[in-house]
Amino acid sequence: MTLKPRILLITSNAGSLFEKDCRLHVGWLQTIEERVHAENVDMLILHTQETGGKKFEECSYQVPIIVDQLRNRLNEFQIIRAWADIEYESEDYTALGVYVFIKESAAKYIEQYNFHTNRFEALHRGFSLTLSNFEKNPYLIKYKFPKEFWPAIKWGRKGYMHTRWRISNRIIDFVNAHLFHDESNLALIHENPMQYSENRKRAMDFIIQRLTEFANGHKEHLFIFGDLNFRLDSTSFLNRITAKTEPHPLDDEDESRGSTDHLQVNGSNCPNDNLRRTVSAIEFRRGSNDSQNSCVLRVEKKKFDYFNQKKLLDDWESYLDDDKEAKNFPLNELPISFPPTYPWSEDPEESEVLMKTRAPAWCDRVLMNDDAYALVSDSCPKYSSFGQSVCTGDHKPVALSFEMPR
């Protein structure tokens, strides 16, 4: 064993994983196992979001079961430290999970930080899983974003988890972040299409500020990886895929009564000034033809139906330039060379197609500060999504592997 442990970071939004029928468990576990074994790493840091699923009150009991099954599949790791927030009745509930697997042969080069004593501690063989009382746990910081970050939403579970390690004499911070999503597709053509990305920026800036204060002027290596919910620039993306079309607002009087799925659209920011009305959907059609066959794209609050979904997926490189949110932060990322990580089908029979619910996006990311980026760049890193042929839920997991330098 040298002073160069190989590290694997994985982020996986597990919201679709936890269902009553458990039908995605085996595929997800096998996908993670195969990636870990293919990399032959000394340390795995797995971050999950929406741990316990969308029906968390009914399915959170599955979390320790999944962790045990993952332990059995990754039995080459003798040191396991895990935290999963399934306290859904708590005001500070985040549904985040952090799972760290370390080979005993690498333990002498890896230490865990105790936030209560402000000291690093040696690691010993064994397994621990924390499911509650995180404020008493000395090895992890959990924080839920303040409500004022998104006052329009009455309830949410977005936040971050932070662990710190010393690996080969380098201090490394790993942060599992789940940032705010896009509430409505109709906001793509709303008078303020930037409102969701502004919410995400507020949350990410908050994380960076807290981590900077925690570092207290010292140079640390920071990795922020999770479901960052980054979305494509709506204006440039829509212009790209709806070229030579005209927008047609649609309203359904029966549906609109008392509904919140409708939007007052300001025409001054839309491709067509006629869009000054309350609508439940907008169709982009070729010319002025009212035929449904002329519709290229239909947008509703939770529907994004493009006429050629396969082309949208196959030609992802053509709109990669519309992915701009990461540039809002003083962080770095390796080049993206993989398809959008969201929204994939949740049906195991159609695992290789995109759902018609949202525009495709690279939501799941690994970002680094300058010091971490320099460390990774010198070690032949691999950055990719995986599980393309397996149903892992509406998100594909993303991995970054690298070797610690001497």
pLDDT in tens, 303-348: 999 999 999 999 999 999 999 999 999 999 999 999 999 999 999 9
Host H or E run for residue 127:
strand 126-130
pLDDT given for residue 252 in this prediction:
64
For residues 213 and 242, membership in a common domain is answered with no
For residues 251 and 226, membership in a common domain is answered with no
Which CATH number characterizes residue 55's domain?
3.60.10.10
The count of domains in the chain is 2
> In a 3-state reduction of DSSP, which class is residue 120?
strand
pLDDT given for residue 1 in this prediction:
43
Instruction: Report if residue 169 sits inside a domain.
Output: yes
For residues 214 and 239, membership in a common domain is answered with no
Which residue has tokens 């409102």?
195
Instruction: Report if residue 314 sits inside a domain.
Output: no
For residues 75 and 92, membership in a common domain is answered with yes
Which residue has tokens 């269902």?
19
pLDDT given for residue 292 in this prediction:
63
Instruction: Report if residue 147 sits inside a domain.
Output: yes
Instruction: Report if residue 52 sits inside a domain.
Output: yes
For residues 99 and 193, membership in a common domain is answered with yes
The overall longest dimension of the chain from CA atoms, in Å, is 70
**pLDDT tens-place string over residues 135-190:** 999 999 999 999 888 777 767 899 999 999 999 999 999 999 999 999 899 987 76
- Domain stops at, among 274, 308, 342: 308
For residues 253 and 381, membership in a common domain is answered with no
For residues 64 and 113, membership in a common domain is answered with yes
Q: Give the structural domain span for 243.
A: 235-308
For residues 143 and 256, membership in a common domain is answered with no
Instruction: Report if residue 128 sits inside a domain.
Output: yes
Classify residue 268 as exposed, middle or buried by CB count within 10 Å of its CB (0-12, 13-18, 19+).
Answer: exposed
- Domain stops at, among 308, 336, 366: 308
- Domain stops at, among 244, 275, 308: 308
For residues 56 and 158, membership in a common domain is answered with yes
For residues 341 and 256, membership in a common domain is answered with no
pLDDT given for residue 258 in this prediction:
40
For residues 160 and 103, membership in a common domain is answered with yes
Instruction: Report if residue 317 sits inside a domain.
Output: no
**Minimal CA–CA distance to 140: which of 105, 112, 107, 180?**
112
Instruction: Report if residue 199 sits inside a domain.
Output: yes
pLDDT under 70: residue ranges of the chain: 1-3, 154, 190-191, 252-277, 288-292
Instruction: Report if residue 198 sits inside a domain.
Output: yes
**Minimal CA–CA distance to 376: which of 223, 225, 164, 228?**
223
For residues 274 and 340, membership in a common domain is answered with no
